[in-house]
Amino acid sequence: MVLPAGFLKSLEKRPNMRKILLTIVSVLNLTIVYAQENFENIAVDAGVSPPGLGASIIDFNVDGLMDIFITAKGSNMLFQRNPGDLKFTEVAHIAGVYYGINSRGATWADYNKDGLPDLFVGNVSGGLSTLYKNEGDRGDGIFTFSDVTDSAGIRDLPMVFSSAWGDYNNDGYIDLFLSTGNAFKKLYKNLGDGSFIEVSYQAGIRDSSIGRGSTWGDYDNDGDLDLYIVNETESGSDFSPENRLYRNNGDGTFTDISEPAGVNCDRIGKGAAWGDYDNDGDLDLFVTNDGKNRFYKNIGNDNFIDIAPDLGFSDSLTSYGVAWGDFNNDGYLDLYVVNNYRLNNLYINSGHGTFNDLGSKLGVADIGSGNSVVIADFNEDGKLDIYLVRSSEPSQLYINKFAENNWLLITVTGKKSPYNGIGAKIILYSGDLTQYREISGGSGYLSQNSMLVHFGLGAHNIIDSLIIRWPAGTIDKILNIKTNQKIHIIEGEGIVSNIKNSNIFQKTFSLFQNYPNPFNQETEIRFYVSRPCKVKLKIYNTLGQLVKTMVNEEKLPGNYSIIWNGKNEKGKDLPSGVYIYILRAKNYIETKKMVLLR
């Protein structure tokens, strides 16, 4: 069904008509295509067109804007998103992460829980893979990194093709898995003191095939992350190594169930990505190969079936990158597949178990040296965009112009769990629609998608409930959330920011009006910190005399609340009157007044 551009949006004031149209589309198993408005390639204008091999999306400088890290045959590239527009500035050299003659996959996670995302870069030259610690703002707005590979205990590395972060033992500290070539894979357990210890053998992960990709996902919904590894045949060899699915036993060890589970594909593997395409509450798996791709539907009880032939997904291609995302915001995950020098595929999910390849119609079926793909909503308009990395031609940044339905964006902060929320499960209920997402620390091929969680919602205007199951066991439940907005959730606190069509980090810091005001016994003062720094919150009388210091310490990014009981430093009650409270953090100063009534 072809509709004029903006047609559904024109029905926003006629919700019944809009709902009837979408119901007809669903019942008749149609796919909506919007005339003219599809995807627009802005890579050259945005400054992110250089070729590369892999990519990851991260807000490395905690300003609320999505940045892009690219590995390449020469040096690595780090593109920092400029505020106010879709332009990027290359900052890898000044940040100290440019070196990487033979870099491949790169992934991000806050391994030391200081509120700043750190970076691991795999390198196929032995000994050159690097763990970069994010040192934060050096004082002039420039964020820098330091090489802590050796001091963190990540030593004696063979060639490393890709990496994936995941808290496999649910201790709140993110662990690191390395997919290696011609050597046993490496699982590094985070000790919580800034260092790691290699535990692959003890954990039961003893695969020594040529690794290409890996991704964590809790496919059996038992609360701990399982691991899928993609392997490749050695050049000139007749041996086809099997991919591996390691089920987490919950005690720090894993069991290889690849063969009985039916996911031990013996092709020349490239990448893999978990996603719940049929909204049944468990993760399914798509695997790209140099040959026929595999689409493993999760049927429960540690079993999968390959439905690629039934869906027409098993043509003999050389496929590399793969990413799930709801590109038309209808409430069902779609799939983008990168094919080397063949048309790329954008498979739009009908919601009835079938897909339609609309890559050509929507302008994203590029034929070229496609290698990797990542998805993110770069301009935070509720529509998922595509960044396609090509190895020998300009890369492409496709901005989504065609999605017309409702949406929700979510950022999260873990407390007991990993800071970036990796491994957290988010379940959304809206009318008859149920969706499931899991925040990933690396997936696809040499890639990591944005950790900004996106839900398409079709014509639904209200989310009835949102449940977040954190790796540490915390469960947050939030009711009656409006659509078409971005929210921020902190573990154990629920929604702490709720700003429609806006960046929740627009202000570097924020000081809010106390409540209640005026007050008698006590009042609450809230403030927001967007980056690690020394924070001071002090209360003065109208004569400018300091009466109480509420905060004077280093703070991590996040929302804070503090109660003042109307007493001074000596614990004595202060008289009625107007008092002034001032927040100072780096170059930020904000002042507000409150009234104490006795």
DSSP result, 169-187: T-SSS-EEEEEESSS--EE
Q: What SS3 state is found at 203?
A: helix
- pLDDT value for 207: 87
Model confidence at 560, in pLDDT bands (50, 70, 90)? confident
Model confidence at 426, in pLDDT bands (50, 70, 90)? very high
- pLDDT value for 503: 39
Domain's final residue, options 394, 413, 432: 413
Q: Is the domain of 275 the same as that of 332?
A: yes
Q: What SS3 state is found at 371?
A: strand
Task: For the beta carbon of residue 571, count every other beta carbon within 10 angstroms.
Answer: 7
| Angstrom distance (rounded) from CA 523 to CA 527 | 13
Q: Note whether 64 and 84 are within 8 A (CB).
A: no
| Angstrom distance (rounded) from CA 432 to CA 369 | 41
Has residue 277 been placed in a domain?
yes
- Indicate if the pLDDT at residue 32 is higher than 80: no
Instruction: Tell me which residue range forms the domain holding 518.
Output: 510-596
Has residue 378 been placed in a domain?
yes
Q: Is the domain of 6 the same as that of 60?
A: no
Has residue 393 been placed in a domain?
yes
96-120 residue pLDDT tens: 998 877 899 999 999 999 889 999 9
CATH code at 39? 2.130.10.10
The mean pLDDT value for 129-145 works out to 89
Lowest mean pLDDT among 6-20, 269-283, 331-345, 472-486: 6-20
Model confidence at 11, in pLDDT bands (50, 70, 90)? very low
- Indicate if the pLDDT at residue 451 is higher than 50: yes
- Indicate if the pLDDT at residue 506 is higher than 50: no
Model confidence at 28, in pLDDT bands (50, 70, 90)? very low
- Indicate if the pLDDT at residue 305 is higher than 50: yes
> Which tokens sit at 454?
């996106």
Q: Quick one: CA torsion of 314, 333, 402, 5, rounded to 10 degrees?
A: 100
Has residue 482 been placed in a domain?
no
- Is the full-model pTM beyond 0.75? yes
- Residue scoring higher pLDDT (495 or 257): 257
Q: Is the domain of 203 the same as that of 111?
A: yes
The mean pLDDT value for 546-574 works out to 90
Q: Is the domain of 4 the same as that of 56?
A: no
Q: Is the domain of 39 the same as that of 27?
A: no
Lowest mean pLDDT among 18-27, 306-315, 349-358, 409-418: 18-27
- pLDDT value for 233: 66
| Selection from 63-67, 273-277, 532-536, 561-565 with the highest mean pLDDT | 273-277
Give me the percent of the chain exceeding a pLDDT of 90: 70
- Indicate if the pLDDT at residue 88 is higher than 90: yes
Lowest mean pLDDT among 124-138, 223-237, 308-322, 508-522: 223-237
Q: Is the domain of 304 the same as that of 180?
A: yes
Domain's final residue, options 350, 382, 413: 413
The mean pLDDT value for 336-361 works out to 95
Q: Is the domain of 39 the same as that of 79?
A: yes
- Indicate if the pLDDT at residue 533 is higher than 90: no
- pLDDT value for 403: 87
Task: For the beta carbon of residue 301, count every other beta carbon within 10 angstroms.
Answer: 7
Of 449, 460, 467, which is closest to residue 482 (Cα–Cα)? Answer: 460
Domain count, the chain: 3
Task: Give the burial class of 580: count Cβ atoms within 10 A of its Cβ; 0-12 exposed, 13-18 middle, 19 or more buried.
Answer: middle
| Angstrom distance (rounded) from CA 349 to CA 325 | 10
Instruction: Using DSSP bridges, classify how beta strands 54-58 and 67-71 pair: parallel, antiparallel or unpaired.
Output: antiparallel
- Indicate if the pLDDT at residue 568 is higher than 60: yes
Has residue 450 been placed in a domain?
no
- pLDDT value for 157: 83
- pLDDT value for 296: 97
Three-class secondary structure assignment of 27-84: HCCCCCEECCCCEEECHHHHCCCCCCCEEEEECCCCCCCCEEEEECCCCCEEEEECCC
Q: Is the domain of 83 the same as that of 182?
A: yes
Q: Is the domain of 48 the same as that of 2?
A: no
Q: Is the domain of 122 the same as that of 13?
A: no
Spatial CB neighbours of 237, under 8 Å, sequence gap ≥ 6: none
- Indicate if the pLDDT at residue 5 is higher than 50: no
CATH code at 561? 2.60.40.1930
- pLDDT value for 531: 73
Q: Note whether 356 and 345 are within 8 A (CB).
A: no
Q: Is the domain of 139 the same as that of 283?
A: yes
Helix (H) or strand (E) holding 508: none
190-245 residue pLDDT tens: 999 999 999 999 999 988 888 899 999 999 999 999 999 999 865 444 455 789 99
> Which tokens sit at 420?
């970036």
- pLDDT value for 502: 38
The mean pLDDT value for 155-176 works out to 94
- Indicate if the pLDDT at residue 501 is higher than 50: no
- pLDDT value for 86: 92
- pLDDT value for 268: 84
Has residue 69 been placed in a domain?
yes
> Which tokens sit at 525?
């003062």
Has residue 170 been placed in a domain?
yes
Give me the percent of the chain exceeding a pLDDT of 70: 89
Spatial CB neighbours of 519, under 8 Å, sequence gap ≥ 6: 566, 594, 595, 596, 597
| Angstrom distance (rounded) from CA 456 to CA 351 | 12
Has residue 453 been placed in a domain?
no
Domain's final residue, options 390, 413, 436: 413
Strand partners, 566: none
Q: Is the domain of 256 the same as that of 289?
A: yes
